[in-house]
Homo-oligomer: A and B are copies of this chain.
Amino acid sequence: MIQINQNYTKLPGNYLFADISRKISLYQQRHPDKPLIRLGIGDVTRPLAPAIISQLHQAVDEQAETATFKGYGPEQGYAFLREKIAKDYQNRCGVKIQADEIFVSDGSKCDTGNFGELFADDTKVAVCDPVYPVYVDSNAMAGRAGTYNQKTGRWSQLNYLPCLEDNDFLPQIPGPAEPVPDLIYLCFPNNPTGAMAGRELLEDWVAYAREHGSLILYDAAYAAFIREDLPLSIFEIEGARSCAVEFCSFSKLAGFTGIRLGYAVIPDELAFQGVQLNALWSRRQTTKFNGACCLAQSAGAAVFSEAGQQQIKDAIRYYQENADLMIQALSEMGFKLSGGVNAPYIWLKTPDNMPSWDFFDLLLNEAGVVGTPGSGFGPCGEGYFRLTAFGTHEHTAQAIDRIKQSFGQ
């Protein structure tokens, strides 16, 4: 009889968003006249930019004619898009990437979730705590995480990098006596804390990875939100090309959460045991993937047009205005918070060390505002709360008013 992958049975139920949904339903039954404001899920709300819409209509029309119809595309993505991405790297941050080092996909979640397949079963993995759950769960499914301890909220074989107030929510380099991870997941700007690493910390991580033959998986999905003078890409750091892969996304850059488009950058010189990593990924993608939607790729190219660039920057500024508004108002109310400056996420310390879920209940029931309990992202998230800047101006302002009425002095 066929046996299921027992690693799946070790996964704890993913109750976070299910619990949130259940509590929301209860609230709505009790308060049918007071609509909720959702600042919980990290999904965008602005429509696609006009330049992208117009390119999409054209791409659709091309599918209606034999002469311009696109069937199977290259698994790695169309060259017209990869060349634009490469040029954009050069323009944005002076980083030279070749178009054939870029692997287009249907999103960073898929890429970061699948990339671990390229490595041995007993690969030792390091993740931040709190952390985007995909890094943890995909490794648990591969049998690398050991067993889950319900009480501590941690896996026995994962190497956790605590991100707390006293280290500015930034993962510190393991000391010389600490175990060396093979695979290090870093996400900057960070989901969920909104923290952004400085150049020096990234230099230290690159040096550490090079020294130990480790690989950094650098998730830069929120890079478009960086406002301060900080690295937009891990490849701004010298030496990163031989120890890092970068994952980028059009989701938060241009509102493609429903369209689905992202890419991985795998430098040519990145190799282990004499095997080029981009050749391995190419083998994986040509076997198990068939290219991103051709319409999505056309839309992606429009992002890099002059009009497209202006329009997506306007949308990002719109969200940044939400973040600014929240930071100012919540600070004035006496909340302690971080993030929001170089990221669309605000990481709120709950008042009086209140447990994350208690604060969730309070905010929901007092203010009718939904956020995400920090403890859902790992034990070091306990006592914190994530708010997103992806709402509309109107809802964001309303949420602040309601919080002021409930918690303000």
Contact = CB atoms under 8 A, between A and B. Distances in A.
A328 interface: no
Contact of A71 (B182, B257, B273, B283): B257
A15 interface: no
A278 interface: no
Interface string A199-214: 0000000000000111
B290 A109 contact: yes
A80 interface: no
A123 B63 contact: no
A294 B259 contact: yes
A60 B71 contact: no
Interface in A58-88: 60-61, 63-66, 69-73
A365 interface: no
A29 interface: no
A246 interface: no
Given A53-B63, A60-B53, A69-B45, A214 B272 contact: no
Contact of A4 (B56, B71, B119): B119
B70 A292 contact: no
A6 B137 contact: no
Interface in A294-345: 294-296
Interface string A6-28: 10110100100000000000000
Interface of A: 1-6, 8-9, 11, 14, 41, 43-48, 50, 53, 56-57, 60-61, 63-66, 69-73, 106-107, 109-110, 113-114, 117-123, 133-134, 137-138, 141, 182-183, 212-215, 255, 257-260, 272-273, 275, 277, 280, 283-284, 286-296, 392
Contact of A290 (B2, B106, B255): B106
A47 B69 CA distance: 6
A336 B112 CA distance: 49
Given A47-B65, A117-B141, A259-B63, A8 B109 contact: no
Contact of A119 (B2, B41, B45): B2
Contact of A1 (B9, B57, B213): B213
A241 to B, nearest CB: 16
7 contacts: A2-B272, A4-B273, A8-B284, A56-B60, A138-B288, A258-B293, A260-B294
A284 B109 CA distance: 12
B141 A183 contact: no
